[in-house]
Amino acid sequence: MAGSGKLKRRPIRRQVQRMVLLLCVAALVLTGVLWVGSLLTLRDTVLRDSQDLGRDAATASGMALMDQMENNLLQGVQSEAAVVDGKLARFAGYVQDFAFYAHRLYEEPAAYVPKEVLPPNAENKYQYVLQLALRDENVEQDDIQEEVGLLANLVHMWQPVMTNNAGNIASIYLCTESGFMINYDERSDLTDELFDYSDRMWYVGARDADGVIFTEPYLDTFGRGLIITCAAPFYDRQNRFAGSVCMDLMVEDLCSTVLDIDFGEGTYAFLVDGNGDIIISPNMRDDGVFESLYSPTCLAFPAAGSIMSGQTGVIAASAEIYYAYTPIGMANWILAIHMPADMVTAPAEGIREDITETTDATALAMDESILRAGFISLAVFVAIVGAVILFSGGFSRRLTGPLLALREDVQHISQGDLAHQAAVHQNDEIGDLAVAFNTMAGSLDQYIHDLTAVTAEKERIGAELDIATHIQASMLPCIFPPFPDRQEFDIFASMDPAKEVGGDFYDFFMVDDTHLAVVVADVSGKGVPAALFMVIGKTLIKDHTTPGRDLGEVFTQVNDLLCEGNGEGLFITAFEGVLDLETGELRFVNAGHEMPFIYKKGERFAPHKIRPGFVLAGMEGMRYKMGSVTLAPGDKLFQYTDGVTEATNSENELYGMERLEAVLNRNADAAPDALLPAVKADIDAFVGQAPQFDDITMLCLEFKKMMRSDPNELTLEATLENIPAVTAFVDERLEALDCPMKAQTQIDIAIDELFSNIARYAYDPATGPATVRVDVDNDPMAVRITFIDQGRPYDPLAQTDPDVSLSAEERQIGGLGIFMVKKSMDDVKYEYKDGQNILTIRKNI
Q: Which residues bind other proteins (CB under 8 A)?
A: 720-721, 723-724, 742, 745-746, 748-749, 752-753, 756, 803-809, 811, 813, 816-817, 819-820, 823-824
Give the nearest distance from C-beta 845 to other proteins in angstroms: 15
Element (H, E) at 443: helix 429-475
Q: How far is the CB of 793 from other proteins (least distance, A)?
A: 23
**For residue 154, what are the CA distances in angstroms to 143, 223, 686?**
20, 26, 160
Q: Please state the closest distance from residue 717 (CB atom) to other proteins, in A.
A: 15
How far is Cα 673 from Cα 266, in angstroms, rounded to an integer? 130
> Using an 8 Å Cβ cutoff, are 225 and 234 in contact?
no
User: Which residue, 242 or 818, is less far from other proteins as judged by CB?
Assistant: 818
Cα 685 to Cα 647, 650, 655, 680, 693, distances in angstroms: 11, 12, 10, 9, 16
Q: Where are the alpha helices (DSSP H) in 210-275?
A: 251-254, 256-260
E strand spans, 438-496: 489-496
Quote the least distance from Cβ 773 to other proteins, whole Å: 21
CA distance linking residue 249 with residue 737, whole number of Å: 196
Nearer to other proteins, 685 or 806 (CB): 806
Minimum distance of other proteins from residue 687's CB (angstroms): 53
Residue 822 CB, nearest approach to other proteins (Å)? 10
Q: Which is nearer to other proteins, 425 or 823 (CB)?
A: 823
List all residues 6 or more positions away from 649 whose beta carbon is below 8 Å from its beta carbon.
Answer: 655, 686, 687, 688, 690
Contact 767/759 with Cβ under 8 angstroms? yes
Ordered strands of the 291-292 beta sheet: 291-292, 277-280, 268-272, 333-340, 321-328, 313-316
CB neighbours of residue 655 within 10 Å: 21
Give least dist CB 759 to other proteins, A. 8
Bridge partners of 323, per DSSP, are: 315, 338
Residue closer to other proteins by CB (options 398, 811) is 811
Strands (E), 12-150: 129-134
Q: Which C-beta is closer to other proteins: that of 70 or that of 748? A: 748
| Bridge-based pairing state of the strands 696-703 and 489-496 | antiparallel
**Upper half-sphere CA count for residue 365 (Cβ side, 13 Å):** 8
Smaller CB separation from other proteins, 488 or 753: 753
Pairing state between β 213-214 and 226-235 = antiparallel
Question: Under a CB-based contact definition with an 8 Å cutoff, are residues 611 and 591 in contact?
Answer: no
Least CB distance from residue 712 to other proteins, whole Å? Answer: 23
Decide whether 637 or 743 has the Cβ nearer to other proteins: 743
The one-letter amino acid code at 91 reads F
Q: Starting at the earlier edge strand, list the strands of the sheet with 504-512.
A: 504-512, 515-523, 572-580, 585-591, 627-630
3-state helix, strand, coil in the chain (%, to 5): 45, 20, 30
Question: Beta 333-340 vs 268-272: how paired, if at all?
Answer: antiparallel
Closest distance between other proteins and the C-beta of residue 796, in Å? 12
Whichever of 138 and 805 has its CB closer to other proteins, that residue is 805
The residue among 299 and 820 lying less far from other proteins, judged by its C-beta, is 820
Q: Which is nearer to other proteins, 594 or 753 (CB)?
A: 753
CB of 770 to other proteins, least distance (A): 14
CB of 814 to other proteins, least distance (A): 9
Q: How far is the CB of 804 from other proteins (least distance, A)?
A: 3
Q: Measured from the CB atom, is 36 or 749 closer to other proteins?
A: 749
Q: Which CB, 651 or 721, lies closer to other proteins?
A: 721
Q: Is the CB of 196 or the CB of 748 nearer to other proteins? A: 748
Q: Half-sphere exposure of 638 toward its Cβ, with a 13 Å CA cutoff?
A: 27
Residue 824 Cβ vs other proteins, minimum distance, rounded to whole Å: 8
Residue 789 pairs in a beta bridge with 770, 837
The rounded distance, in Å, linking the Cα atoms of 705 and 581 is 8
Whole-number minimum distance, CB 721 to other proteins, in Å?
8
Q: 820 CB contacts (<8 Å, ≥6 apart)? A: 749, 750, 753
Q: For residues 825 and 819, is the Cβ–Cβ distance under 8 A? A: no
Please identify, using beta-carbon distances, which residue of 663 and 825 lies nearer to other proteins: 825
